[in-house]
Every structure is written in structure tokens, then in C-alpha cells.
Amino acid sequence: MAKVVFERRFIFDHLNTLFDKKEKLLEREEGFFTKIEPRNRKADYTEAMSFEVYDPLWMLGRQRQFGRFQGNNCGTTVQTKIRLFTSPLVKVGDKDGRDKAFSAESDPLEYQVERRPRPIDPYVRIESALHFLSMKSLPANKAALLKVLLRQFPLDPFIPDKPLNDRTLEDVKLGANLKLDKLYRYYGKRCFDGYKLFLANRISFSSSQVNLDKALAEYKAWFRKKYLVDGDTSNYWSDEKLGYQVKLKTDGERFVADDYHTGKLSWYSFDSDGQKETASAQSNSTVLTALPTPATFPAAPNRRLWEFENRRVQFNDWRNDDVTALASSVILQYTMMYSNDWMIVPVEIEAGTVLQVGEITIKDSFGHVFSIDTRQHYELRDHVPQERNVGFQDRWAIFAHVDYKAYDKSDFRTHPGLLFPPTLQRVEQGAPIEEVQFLRDEMANMVWGVEERVSDLCGGSLDSRSRSDKVLSIIDEERKVDDRDVIAPADADYSFLIQNRVPLHWIPFIPQNLKGNPRDIVFRRGRMPIWYNGDYQPVRPSSQLLGVKKDANGKVVPRYIYEEEIQGYGTKVGLYPQRTRWFNGTSFTWVGYEKKISGTQANSGLMFDTLLDVEKPAED
């Protein structure tokens, strides 16, 4: 916007000319139009664009006309005293309600929550054995020790050698994995089974038996921490929600992350489990004295009156004709009018604590002292115990926790404190070990769990589609069909298809109505049959996510997924290896799940009870 210098003499001369012209037009009884257009008297516009004040009295009058003198107090904050209450986190709980002691100094929260136990596959057996041989506490004669270990804990064949009539579908899957066969050919006679060594109580070796027993105890502790065999029985992953559920507790408060699946765990992942009215008795109280500084952010109005706005100020996307933008318009007005009143006071808080601001005392440049006691907004009324005085935090807040059952209780009061969980700022993530794509099949009225990538049992992953095609080709070659048993009338126009087959890595989930469940429909994992070796055999999943679990009696536990977790565009869940370093210098490695929207739809092509046209040879 061009800002032009107005001179009093120029304006008065121009107005006198207009008044003379107006009188002449009135004498002729004609209409007239008045327009004041300032002009610059110099060719150089630098002076005109500077908006210099030549007439202070006129400028003050214009400011009064626009209401710039209606401020209540233009004092500046010069000192701030803040009373803080901090409560340390002492326990962490899983979805089954089991709690255990927790210390933010020892482990990051992601490592506690996300880590999954490693299945004991051939790669784990070999990797653990090589680690044992590399331990420095072993005796010097490792060559003789290796011969003893090979004899006591041999590696069993990774692919069972069974007759053709005794093979199952799982045996065919293992036989189609060429990497597994190469791995056993190389390590079968050169390495022992590290998992068998972990289960053993002692190694029968005459030389340096005391040192060998200590090394075995050290190896077992490493094995438990590395692969989570039996060291941690807590379960934070929910198969029904396809996400993690974790609870953090102080001495008197509890915060819940009911559905965490993004791979980034922070304060906004948690909600309060019940309102906390006052600071905990075990809270630590401190008083902080600091000098506040003005808060700045992109798109904020400039503080100087005549300074040009920066190009970062962009309000082009805001539309005042959209009724859904009411909240945006309120925030926009609040930002434009009161942004120069925002101040920042730095506060250093240890990770793994809950912070509550008790009282704020402000002293401005005029010597006035203002005190804000935030605790008075959380006192219960005597005559209505169920209600509470509504404070400014309940009306509008950016960083706040509400009850995770707020919609069920119709209570949206905010928690007075803010959680600072001991989470990571950065994690190194590798390529996915497993990937499962969940797709809705509206034509078949079901959901498919498509295993796109699964573990190759050799430390890597393989494409499930390629393996499925190879296994199906092996089955077709082994299946011998006698044409005499096939009834094919020459004059038939149609053939009846009972059911066709789908790829082996497509695992079905059937809608089911469970009694006593508040949800109308849940998806239950099913089985696709395939004819092999003279019988119908079920197609079992190969991934750890969809794997079959059994109870103490050996019975298969049903696998359910809530309907709202499978989006219309598809949901993908991957198992990723991760590594990080905590602030005490300790490194942590684990594998964990991450869910995201994939934006994919598919049709399985499943058909059953269908009439098909019979292809007849063309007549000569």
C-alpha cells in the first residue's frame, strides 16, 4: 500500500477549488461528484513512501479518530514469579491393567511400550550363537569349546525332510524359501543352536568350568533383553484397535494413551483419567523468577505502527463464507488483536514429570503487581459438589489434557497439569520386516488382511505375492488329477463353481456380532481352505501380526479387529526395526508396529456358488 505525504496547504487549495466548482454546478442545477486524490510533487517517491509526519497535531487527531487512545494500560511486564508443582511418574501400565515401576532415567517410554518379542526363527538361533562365541569371558580355547557346543546343541534342519504324502501346506511354504535352504547349507555344520544353549542349565566342558558358568549366565541375561523371551510379559499392543494402549501414573494421577499408533509418542497422545483438583501431596514446589520476553510467531502483526507487513503474512486460504471456519476466524481475530500481549517465560522441566502452575505474579513497568492463582479455578462449590468453577483453561487452551471419556461423561473440563513423558525426539527406523494391508471387500462383504511382506526367517523380508505364486505352482504340479473322475458333459452350457481360490497371503476377516459387545459388528479372522495332499487344509497367516495364538490348552484364540479401525481407503500396519540413544548414553534397539492410512482399495475376485459359461470349441 502506498503511503503519500499530505500537506495542509495542498489540501486547503484543493478544497477551495472544489467548493468554487460546486457553487457553479449548483447555479446550473446539475449534479456533481467530489473526489480527493493526493498527488506527489516530486519524481522520486522515496520521501512519499516513508510516511513522515509533517503535522503531528493532525496525526494525533487521526489516531484519536481511529480509537487508538482507548487502551487500558500500556505497561510492559518486567518481572514474573511463577510457583510450580511437579509430580514424577512412578508407574507404567499396559492394556490389561498390569503396572510396574518406571524410571525416566533408565529407559525411554517408546522402548517400554512399542517393543515386541522376537519369534525364535533360524536367524535368531544363529545370531545368538555367534554372539556367545564373541564374548570375552569365554575360555581361551574356543575351538575346543565350539566342538562341544556343536555336539550338545546342534542345529536342526530348517526345512523338514518329509515324504510327499506327509507334507502340509506350511512345509511347502518353507520349501519355497530358497534363502532358508542356503542358510542351513552354510551354518548347519559350522554353528550350534543359540536358543538351545539359552534353555540349557550348564555346558559340559572340563576346562575353566567356573568362567564358563559365568559366561552362560551373562549370555542368558543378554538373550532375554535382546529377544524378550520371558523377561517382559506386559502387553501394550491391542489387536482389536491396531494400536498401543499405555497408562502413566504418579502418586495420585493417571494419564491414558488409549490408541497410540503413529510411532511418535508425546504429551498430546495422553488424556487424563479423572480430574485432578489440586496438586499431589508428593509434588515438589518451586518458585521461578524470570524476565518475560515477547512471543513471536510467523504471520503475527508487526509491532511498529507504520512498518510494512512481512510476506509471510498469508490469509488467502481463510474464507468468511464457510460456516466451518468459525473457529479459525476466532483464532485469527485473537491473533491480530492481542498478539502483542503474549509473553514467554522459559521453564525447564525434567522428563517424566507432571507440571502444574500454581500461581503467577507479574510486575509491570508502572510498578503495578498482578497475581493469578490458577488453583482457585479448580475449587469445588459447596452447594453443588458435582460442579466446579469454570476457569479460563476450560474455555480456551492449547496445551491441556481432558478426560479420555469426556464424551461419555459430557465433561470437558481440562486437567490443571501438563504431562511431560520421557519420550524420544528422534528414532532411526529401518525397512519394514512385515507389512499387512487391511482392505475392505464390499463385493464379498468382508475384510482382507493382505500380507505384503513377511519375514524370510533369515534376518530379512520377502515379497508375499511372489512366494504365494510359487507355492501355488508347486501345489498344482504335485496335484495329479484323473480326467476319468471329472464329469464334463459335452452338451453342458454352464459349469457350477463351488469356490475359487485366492492368493495365500490374503487372510479373510468375517463380520461377526458378539454377544455382550457394545459394537454391533467386529471382524474375526477366518481361514481359506485349499485342497492339498488329498484333503482341505487351512491357509494360516505367516506374519507375526496376524499369527495364530493358542491358549494353555493348545486351543486357537480368536482374533478380532474393531470395524472402525479398517478405513475405507485401507489401513496398513508395518513392523519396523528401530534404534535410538537415550540421554544417559545407552543405546536401545527394538521392533514395533506403526499404523497408517495407505489409500488403497482392492477386489479379491472371490467367487462361490457361481455358474460359469462353458467354452465350447469353434465349429468348422
Q: Secondary structure of 283-304 in the HEC alphabet?
A: CEEEEEEECCEECCCCCCCCCC
Mean pLDDT: which of 73-77, 104-108, 471-475 is highest? 471-475
Look at residue 195 in the predicted model and tell me its pLDDT.
Answer: 94
Confidence of residue 556 (pLDDT cuts 50, 70, 90): confident
Domain ranges of the chain: 8-65, 122-227, 428-613
Average pLDDT over residues 404-424: 83
Share of the chain above pLDDT 90, in %: 17
Look at residue 506 in the predicted model and tell me its pLDDT.
Answer: 92
Task: Please choose, from the candidates 117, 122, 100, the residue with its C-alpha nearest in 3D space to the C-alpha of residue 225.
Answer: 117
Look at residue 382 in the predicted model and tell me its pLDDT.
Answer: 38
In angstroms, rounded to a whole number, what is the distance separating the alpha carbons of residues 11 and 205? Answer: 110
User: Which carries the bigger pLDDT value, residue 449 or residue 442?
Assistant: 449
Average pLDDT over residues 303-327: 58
Average pLDDT over residues 478-493: 61
Number of other CB atoms surrounding residue 358 within 10 Å = 19
pLDDT digits (tens, 9 = 90+) for 338-383: 777 778 888 888 888 988 888 888 888 888 888 887 655 444 333 3
Share of the chain above pLDDT 70, in %: 74
Look at residue 126 in the predicted model and tell me its pLDDT.
Answer: 95
Residue 318: is its pLDDT beyond 60?
A: no
Mean pLDDT: which of 382-386, 408-412, 470-474 is highest? 470-474
Look at residue 182 in the predicted model and tell me its pLDDT.
Answer: 92
Look at residue 8 in the predicted model and tell me its pLDDT.
Answer: 40
Look at residue 3 in the predicted model and tell me its pLDDT.
Answer: 38
Residue 281: is its pLDDT beyond 80?
A: no
**Range name among 198-212, 216-230, 247-261 with the lowest pLDDT average:** 198-212
| Mean pLDDT score of the chain | 78
Number of other CB atoms surrounding residue 316 within 10 Å = 5
Residue 18: is its pLDDT beyond 70?
A: no
Cell of 586: 545407552
4, 5, 7, 46, 56 from 41: Cα distances, Å: 11, 10, 11, 12, 21
Mean pLDDT: which of 3-12, 77-86, 611-620 is highest? 77-86
Return the beta strands (E) in 251-348 as ranges: 254-260, 271-272, 284-290, 293-294, 343-344
The string of DSSP codes covering 171-233 is: HHHHHT-HHHHHHHHHHTTT---HHHHHH-S----STTHHHHHHHHHHHHHHHHHHH-SSS--
In sign, the C-alpha dihedral spanning 107, 240, 537, 481 is negative
Look at residue 376 in the predicted model and tell me its pLDDT.
Answer: 54
pLDDT digits (tens, 9 = 90+) for 32-65: 455 556 666 777 767 666 656 666 776 777 666 6
- 126 contacts 191 by C-beta, under 8 angstroms: yes
Task: Please choose, from the candidates 567, 548, 566, the residue with its C-alpha nearest in 3D space to the C-alpha of residue 558.
Answer: 548
pLDDT digits (tens, 9 = 90+) for 80-125: 999 988 888 888 888 888 888 888 788 888 888 888 888 899 999 9
Residue 304: is its pLDDT beyond 70?
A: no
69, 136, 485 from 64: Cα distances, Å: 6, 84, 103
pTM above 0.85, yes or no: no
Look at residue 4 in the predicted model and tell me its pLDDT.
Answer: 40
Confidence of residue 219 (pLDDT cuts 50, 70, 90): very high
Mean pLDDT: which of 278-282, 374-378, 465-469, 552-556 is highest? 465-469
Average pLDDT over residues 291-299: 78
